Amino acid sequence: ADLSTEYDAARLLTHRAAYLKDQKLPYNKEAAMAKLMASELAMKATTKGIQILGGYGYTKDYPLERYFRDAKITEIYEGTSEIMRLVISANILK
C-alpha cells in the first residue's frame, strides 16, 4: 500500500512539473521534487524486492538485480538526491 501510494505521488509530481513546463511557468522545484520522489521510491521498491528474494535478488538470474542497479544510479545521475533537496529548499525560501 505504501509503495503504491508513493508511486502515485511520484507520477503526479512528474505530471505537475511537465504541465508547468508546458505552460512556460517556473518548474524547477516541481521537477526536483518529482526526481527526488521517484528515484528514492525506485530504491525503496527494489530494496524491498531484494529482501523478499533474499540472496536470489542479487543474482543475474532475476531481473531485480538489474532494477536495483538502475534505481541506485537514479539517485546519482542528473543531480543527487541531496542536490534535489537543496534545489527544493532554495525554491521554497524564495
For residue 85, give the nearest of 18, 39, 23 by alpha carbon.
39
CA dihedral (31, 34, 37, 40) positive or negative:
negative
Amino acid symbol at 8: D
Is 82 designated active site? Answer: no
**Distant-in-sequence, close-in-space partners of 86: CB < 8 Å, separation ≥ 6:** none
Set 40, 65, 75, 78: catalytic member: 78
Any idea which residues carry the catalytic annotation? 78
